[in-house]
Amino acid sequence: MPEGIDELYRGFQTELEALIVQARVEGGGHVQPFPNYDPKVLKFLKGKSYLDYIQKNLARSMARVNRETNYHVGIGRLPDEVLGRIMTYYVWISKLTRLRHMESPKTWKVLCLVCTRWRNVAFHTPSLWNQISFSWEPRLVNLFFERNGVCPLSLFAMAITDRYGDAFKERLEKEVDRISRLFVGWIPDAREESAYVMDRFLEDQLCSKELPNLTNLYLSYGKAMLSESTAMKPPNAPNLLLLEVRGIKFLPSTISFPKLRALKIRDSPMTISEIFSFLTSCPSLGILTISRRPSSYFATESDLSMETFSLPKLKKVTVRYFNNSSLSLLLNKLIESAPSASFDLSLSDVRGAQTLDKMFPETLVSLLRSSPEISIDVFNTYLKDETSYILTFAPKIQVKVERCSLDLKGLLSALIQLGVPQLRNIKLKCDRLPDVESLAEFFVACPDLLKIGLETKELKPFFTAMKSDAPTKDRALKDSEENSEGATSQTTPLILPHLGELNIFESPYSRSDLKNFLSDRQDRGAKVHCLKMAHDDEEWSYDDIPLKDIKALVDVFKFVPEYRRQNQNYGPRSEASSGLECHCEGCLSEEYHNGGEESEDSMDPLAGFYDDDYW
């Protein structure tokens, strides 16, 4: 037992003995240690309740000793089975594709070099050796296979060429029945047609018989920067949970995947009909990612499958690089099949489009026109005349538009032209708001707005646009007509009479402008009832008006401190690589995975893995 805990334990033991002696003496009534105490207190000290009180204190003390003792158990005191289990968790790689950057199993080497006991525990823990990359030294690959016994295997083989393709084929053919996770990436060789051989070999191993242990499968064909694709039968794995393919088209088959949760199809050569046909075999799908190559071209497609399917568990759909006609077909069927799913889309052909009905596919135009809420997140691009933004609207649709000729002013004008009569909530996130006239025109065209959210570097245009005398084209035309006829101008109608909530997030502003805006709305009978901010706005306001004056003008004033945390990933989202999609020449080349130095230092890469290396 550690020294600190031992001392604590002795202290509690001494207290325990003293309390027991005191309880016996006081309970027996032989002495009166508290002569000046109140009679009620003396009765309590002599009674059974005091003994119960002492026992509870002792129980709490012993529980504390046990907790402190357990907290300070060193890893060296653990049994071999527990230590081996911890080692297994330590080296476990949850995403198999991370093995692509592991040129040698250094983590396993470190565990074996700690001490003699750790080395012996590692050697007798088969589950520690079941993750194998065929880019390692061949002797290490063989050693891992010898040590893992009959445990389920996780195999990683990338950029397969003749250098170690034969070794991989031999191992896969022998161990295919106990493989749990498999990553295979192969590069076609036009000279020897080895790609065709590998295609047929994998098809024979993965499709000819049922593989109940296979749960995760990654298949990658060719180099990511080349337009290469192949066709093969789907794997015969009824317990498959994750399937990720790149550059592969599945042939028609009766094989189903009742437990499949995540499906990622990248650089897909499949048509819309072929995609729908494959989705019919995945009734439990929860995550779906489909992308085509940016340079790929598909003629006008039509849904020839004529099959209806339901995906009630589908929650997330990501679609990239589909033309508008194909995307519209895909969305129509997926929205119908998965009503609770959210969609993350990216438009591929928006250059030169000046209206939303030409920029968006027909399905998105219809959804946008009827959406009650819209969020626009504008982010900077390197080109002066092009803008990129993320447009989010109901029902759970997020569209990423890159290199668009419409800036935020043009986008608001396009929304007016399209018509959004059901719009009730809008959020604008940008560096600079459009000019006052454009904002005022948009607000006049959307009179039923109930909530506005703003995140920008300058809020002055918003407060100016919301004034009753803000200039708009329609208002200027009306004033000119009235003046020409000699009519008397009447009071201008209030902009957004139903506005009830204003959210200002991480935006510098003037408290005097905000106070004047809220006060004017209140005086005209259109009070803003709710005001929300991301956090205490002392760092964002630049005048001395007390915050209590702002709070007095609204019914609900609320800080939203979790806004920053919730919106860390909001805005331009990077295309996170899944492991199959990498545009680096080296990541899918033989030289990167097999050439060069095996280790950064001068140590033998096999050091520590054998009994006679260092001991």
Residue 13's pLDDT band (boundaries 50, 70, 90)?
Answer: low
Give the Cβ contact number of residue 454 at 10 Å: 19
pLDDT at 487: 46
CA 101 to each of CA 136, 184, 329, 587: distance values in angstroms, whole numbers, following the listed order: 11, 15, 39, 9
What span, in angstroms and rounded, lies between the C-alpha atoms of 13 and 587? Answer: 64
Quick one: average pLDDT of 148-173? Answer: 81
User: Would residue 158 count as lying in a domain?
Assistant: no
Predicted TM-score (pTM) of the model is 0.75
**pLDDT for residue 612:** 40
Query: Is the pLDDT reported for residue 46 higher than 70?
Result: no
The answer to whether residue 476 is domain-embedded is yes
As a whole number, mean pLDDT of residues 21-49 equals 53
Write down the pLDDT at residue 170: 87
Contact 473, 441 (CB under 8 A): yes
What domain count does the chain have?
Answer: 2
> Per-residue pLDDT for 40 more than 60?
no
Residues 345, 327: Cα–Cα separation, whole Å: 9
The percentage of residues in the chain with a pLDDT greater than 90, rounded to a whole number, is 34
Under 8 Å CB-to-CB from 607, ≥6 apart: which residues?
Answer: 109, 113, 613, 614
In a domain, 367, yes or no: no
Q: Name the amino acid, one letter, at 91.
A: V
pLDDT computed for residue 239 by the predictor:
94
Q: E strand or H helix at 417, and its extent?
A: helix 408-418
Residues 6 or more apart whose CB falls under 8 angstroms from that of 235 comprise: 206, 207, 211, 214, 217, 243, 255
Give the tens place of pLDDT for each residue, 15-28: 656 655 655 555 44
pLDDT on residue 477 = 45
Q: Is residue 117 part of a domain?
A: no
Domain that holds residue 12: 3-73
Q: Among all chains, which residue has been given the structure tokens 């139903």?
A: 498
Is residue 472 in a domain?
yes
Contacts of 109 (CB under 8 A, 6+ apart): 605, 607, 608, 609
Which of these, 502, 369, 356, lies nearest to 426 by C-alpha position? 502
Largest CA distance in the chain: 114
pLDDT, mean of residues 242-265:
93
- Nearest 5 degrees, angle CA 522-CA 527-CA 531? 115
Asked whether the predicted pLDDT for residue 278 surpasses 90, the reply is yes
| C-alpha span between 142 and 165 (Å, rounded) | 15
Token pair listed for 61 = 């003390």
In a domain, 297, yes or no: no
Q: What angle do CA 559, 563, 564 make, to 5 degrees?
A: 120
pLDDT at 472: 54
Identify the pLDDT of residue 582. Answer: 42
d(CA 310, CA 484): 63
Indicate the pLDDT class of residue 79, thresholds 50, 70 and 90: confident
Q: Is 105 helix (H, G, I), strand (E, B) or coil?
A: coil
322 pLDDT exceeds 70?
yes
pLDDT at residue 509 greater than cutoff 50: yes
E strands of 20-171, at which residues?
131-133, 153-160
Write down the pLDDT at residue 564: 54
Return the pLDDT at 219: 92
Tokens representing residue 125 in the block? 């823990």
Residue 291 near residue 268, CB atoms below 8 Å = yes
Nearest to 262 by CA among 305, 315, 337: 315
Q: Is the peptide bond before 395 cis (omega within 30 degrees of 0)?
A: yes
Residues 169-224 pLDDT 10s: 888 989 999 999 999 988 776 655 555 678 888 888 998 889 999 999 999 887 76
Neighbour count for residue 470 (Cβ, 10 Å):
20
Q: How confident is the model at residue 604 (pLDDT cuts 50, 70, 90)?
A: very low
Q: How does pLDDT run across 372-417, given as a tens digit for each residue?
A: 999 999 986 666 677 888 999 988 999 998 878 888 999 999 999 9
Domain assignment of residue 63, yes or no: yes
* Nearest by Cα to 530 from 507, 502, 506: 502
Considering only residues 98 and 144, tell me which one the structure prediction assigns the higher pLDDT: 144
In terms of pLDDT, which residue wins out, 40 or 97? 97
Q: What is the structure's pLDDT at 575?
A: 40
Q: Where are the alpha helices (DSSP H) in 235-377?
A: 272-279, 324-337, 356-359, 362-369
Q: For the residues 564-587, what does the mean pLDDT come to?
A: 43
pLDDT of the residue at 96: 82
Retrieve residue 154's tokens: 């996780």
The answer on pLDDT for 569 being more than 60 is: no
Closest CA to 188 of 243, 247, 250: 247
Paired residues of 153 in beta bridges: 179
Tokens representing 417? 């032209």
**Cβ neighbours, 10 Å, residue 72:** 12
pLDDT beyond 70 at 103: yes
In the chain, % of residues over pLDDT 70:
69
* Structure token pair of residue 284: 């439990």
Domain presence at residue 189: no
Who's near 511: CB < 8 A, 6+ residues apart?
541, 543, 544, 545, 547, 549, 550
Q: Where are the beta strands (DSSP E) in 200-267?
A: 216-221, 230-232, 242-246, 248-250, 262-266
Measured between alpha carbons, how far is 206 from 64 in angstroms, rounded to an integer? Answer: 56
Return mean pLDDT, the chain. Answer: 78
Q: For 484-521, give one letter per residue: b (16+ CB within 10 A) or e.
A: eeeeeeeeeebbbeebbbbbbbbbebbbebbbebbebb
DSSP character string of 39-80: HHHHHHHHSHHHHHHHHHHHHHHHHHHHHHHHHT--GGGS-H
Per DSSP, what are the bridge partners of residue 322?
347
Q: Is the pLDDT of residue 484 over 60?
A: no
Query: CA 257 → CA 184, 199, 385, 553, distances in Å?
Result: 20, 21, 47, 59
Look at residue 329 and give its three-state secondary structure.
helix
In which element (H, E) is residue 480 found? helix 473-485
Instruction: Please give the Cα distance from 111 to 144 (Å, whole number).
Output: 14
Beta carbons within 10 angstroms of residue 228's beta carbon: 17
d(C-alpha 172, C-alpha 203), whole Å: 12
The band of 9, judged by pLDDT with boundaries at 50, 70 and 90, is low
> Residue 370, Cβ neighbours under 10 Å: how many?
15
Tokens representing 531 are 């005001």
Angle at 524 (CA atoms; ends 522, 530), nearest 5 degrees: 30
* Chain segment 130-147, per-residue pLDDT in tens: 999 888 888 888 999 999
Least confident of 113-117, 227-231, 508-512: 227-231
